Amino acid sequence: MLEKQNPRHKQWKQRSKIINITRQRMLRLKINYMLRPKIIRKNRRSRIERKTKKVLEKTKLKEMQTTKTMTSLVNLNKMPTTKLKPYESWKSIQLSLHLTHHKTLFNIFGNKMISNWINRRNFKQDKRRRM
């Protein structure tokens, strides 16, 4: 009975209640934050896979084309006169990202799929940095 009548005890109880609520809220936020990036990554991957599948279905990728694009990428000072088609450039870009900077690649091919791929790559790197 004495404990209940003591005003200090009542105050402390209230404070602990508030603290507990905030702790729960923080946990909830943390969990949401942990779940969020995964969802984005999954969506992005599936979207890009769908696009590449469509493109590859339309035209079968030949080794000759990839080697051609590789050589054109190596000779970056000689800009290719025609824009490469996405199915020609896609695989070669994966191979040659280490050769050149992203932006020059994007200028050459002017292709949205490539920009998506680069964005995905950067997104992964950022995530690693955050961890």
User: What pTM value is reported for the model?
Assistant: 0.19
Cα(92)–Cα(101) distance, integer angstroms: 14
For 68, the token pair is: 């051609």
Report pLDDT for 80.
47
User: How many domains is the chain built from?
Assistant: 1
Q: What stretches of the chain show up as alpha helix (H) in DSSP?
A: 2-5, 7-58, 63-74, 86-96, 102-109, 112-130
Report pLDDT for 23.
74
Position with higher pLDDT, 96 vs 24: 24
> Each residue of 34-68: pLDDT tens digit?
666 555 566 666 776 777 776 666 665 555 555 56
Range of the domain at 83: 2-130
- The yes-or-no verdict on residue 81 having pLDDT over 60 is no
Q: Are the beta carbons of 101 and 110 closer than 8 angstroms?
A: no
Q: Please name the residue that has the structure tokens 């084309």.
A: 65
pLDDT band at 10 (very low <50, low <70, confident <90, very high): confident
- For range 111-123, the mean pLDDT: 61
Cα(82)–Cα(108) distance, integer angstroms: 9
**Is residue 32 helix, strand or coil?**
helix
